[in-house]
A and B are shown apart, each in its own frame.
Chain A
Amino acid sequence: MAMAFEDKLDELRRREERAREMGGPEKLANRAAAGQLNARERIDHLLDKGSFRESGLLATSVPPEDRATTPADGKVSGFGRIDDRRVAVVSNDLTVKGASSAATNAKKIAYLKDKATRAGMPIVFLGESSGARIPDVMDAESMAQGGSDPQQYCRRRETPWASAVLGPCFGSSTWYACLSDFVVMRKGAVLAVSSARVTSLAIGETVDPEELDGWRLHSDVTGMADAVAETDEEALDMVRCFLSYLPSHAGEAPPRLPAPEHGPDGEALLDLVPDARGRVYDMRKVIAQIVDGDSFFPLKPRFGKAAITGLARLGGESVGIVATNPMILVGALDPAACRKVTSFLALCDSFHVPIVILVDTPGFLVGVEGERRAAPAQIMNMMHALQLCSVPKISVILRKSYGQAFLNLGGGRNSDEIAAWPSADVSFMDPQIGVSVVLGLRREDDPEKFDAACEQFSRGTSAYDMAGVFGVQSVIDPRDTRSYLCAALDTHRAAANNGLGRRDMAAWPTYF
């Protein structure tokens, strides 16, 4: 080899090695001691072994004095594979200037988003960033430069996006988490507009970091986190699992796995759902007795809990499960539950995932608190979403389905097909409340008259009354729910356009 080239190759190797050292051994050792993976280890855990192709390894910060100390400019990015399917990934490196956003790494992310969208692959954001790089951004020129892409934050869901919030997330990592279809938050990580310190300085009062941005806030109160993980590794595994249910891009159907040889036998369903009207039960146990093995992957399980949403498989096919949970608020949907269902419908509709709805609800939760949270608007948002959805929708009424919630959960022509269990009870409202409203009568006033009126108001609400007027297409043995759903999904899969829907919800916001 010519001497000149040997020198050049040495330099290339030296620069590459330096870039892979990230923020230096001391910072990396501190992370390891705290049980946290570094930006590159996270990529290695997320992707199939050896599949990472880095893009922008030798990029650095623009100011000359920072170039030697900003490997990859604090955001490691590139392409790789998950379960042998292509993905793009950005992993924020907090050891390099707090993974702050600056001119070069903004170009890297813009490039990755553009190429991943064009090629048709999901994007994974591994979040941990301190926000915009100060002082680089402290002037008008950099502000004008930063806003030069008018589509930077516009989601059309051409491909799935997933975010793992794995450390302090402010600025960029927060924005991309909010725009993602799936957000998993590691306990101890934070997600906020800006840090407690910056926020405290800005508003002139002390802010409790946990209250501002912790996992509990986002899993239980805001619903911005779809899942919570104990460790980096668990969070990354959840990203892999989430993507396994979805197509790589919106131009194809979700991947279909071979149907398992045996599903749950369904016998347990008869014991899980009590016959007594006043008894509640846990719908999650019902779901487990219907879907393939342990395929149920809940989304936002700690938010709006009267509704259950999650991805699962039925006979190997990806499905979105929407259900009410009588265990929580008797299954009455509050505004949070409506928002949760609406955002889930947007996900399913955007990526061609058929929807299965399991219904046992007395209706919407009424009360002052609900009205303060715009319950009517959330109910109509959910209804609007359901009617926009063009994926197959199959619903099953287990027990109660009352009032407007009957329609919001697929009643009438809002599903392609509806089945009722023999225990189904469909009406406008609970007969006891109906009696009080119409006759102005309370039971304690005149029990005999009240009970007689209740008996009258309870007539004509059975599964057979619904079947008689073709309000449901079938009344099924609960034990056959799984086989019924598999067959119904097969019937209603659109043959045209390879089973792809219209995706009318693709530009629906990821949070609203």
Chain B
Amino acid sequence: MAEIAVESEIAGTVWKLERSPGDNVEEEDSLMILESMKMEIPVLDPDAGKLVAIHVAEGDTVREGQVLATLELE
């Protein structure tokens, strides 16, 4: 199955992980919440599938375009 990378659209800090590797996710599920510009910003899953890996931990700083998670498409 095809795998796709979920990238951060914004620079910020990982505030809270909301899903774990192995989880089945639906399009637009919130995978984690980033903190940037004094706002809590959800990272939304781009497609339905299975979360293969999460590449960041809570408290990590992330840059724009950084790969946050890997998703295996349904």
Q: Which residues of A contact B (CB under 8 A)?
A: 220, 277-280, 326-330, 332, 362, 365, 367, 369, 430, 432
With the chains together, A327 CA to B39 CA distance in Å?
10
Q: In residues 8-62 of chain B, which contact A (Cβ within 8 Å)?
A: 9-11, 36-42, 44, 46
A-side contacts of B40, CB under 8 Å: 278-280
Size range of the chain B interface in the assembly: 10 to 19
With the chains together, A326 CA to B40 CA distance in Å?
10
With both beta carbons as reference points, the residue of chain B lying nearest to A369 in the complex is identified as: B64
B-side contacts of A432, CB under 8 Å: 38
Main secondary structure of the interface of A (DSSP, over half): loop
With the chains together, A301 CA to B7 CA distance in Å?
18
With the chains together, A277 CA to B39 CA distance in Å?
8
**Which of B10, B39, B40 has the most chain A CB within a 10 Å cutoff?**
B39
With the chains together, A369 CA to B37 CA distance in Å?
17
Q: Which residues of B contact A (CB under 8 A)?
A: 9-11, 36-42, 44, 46, 64-65
With the chains together, A329 CA to B12 CA distance in Å?
11
Q: Is the CB of B37 within 8 A of A362?
A: yes
Say yes or no: A329-B41 contact (C-beta < 8 A), given A367-B64, A369-B65.
Answer: yes
With the chains together, A330 CA to B65 CA distance in Å?
16
Residue contacts A-B, CB under 8 angstroms, 23 given: A220-B46, A277-B38, A277-B39, A278-B38, A278-B39, A279-B39, A279-B40, A280-B39, A280-B40, A280-B42, A327-B42, A327-B44, A328-B9, A329-B41, A330-B36, A330-B37, A330-B39, A330-B41, A362-B37, A362-B39, A369-B64, A430-B38, A432-B38
With the chains together, A328 CA to B44 CA distance in Å?
9
B11 CB contact (under 8 Å) in A279, A280, A328, A367: A367
A-side contacts of B65, CB under 8 Å: 369
With both beta carbons as reference points, the residue of chain B lying nearest to A220 in the complex is identified as: B46
B41 CB contact (under 8 Å) in A220, A280, A430: A280
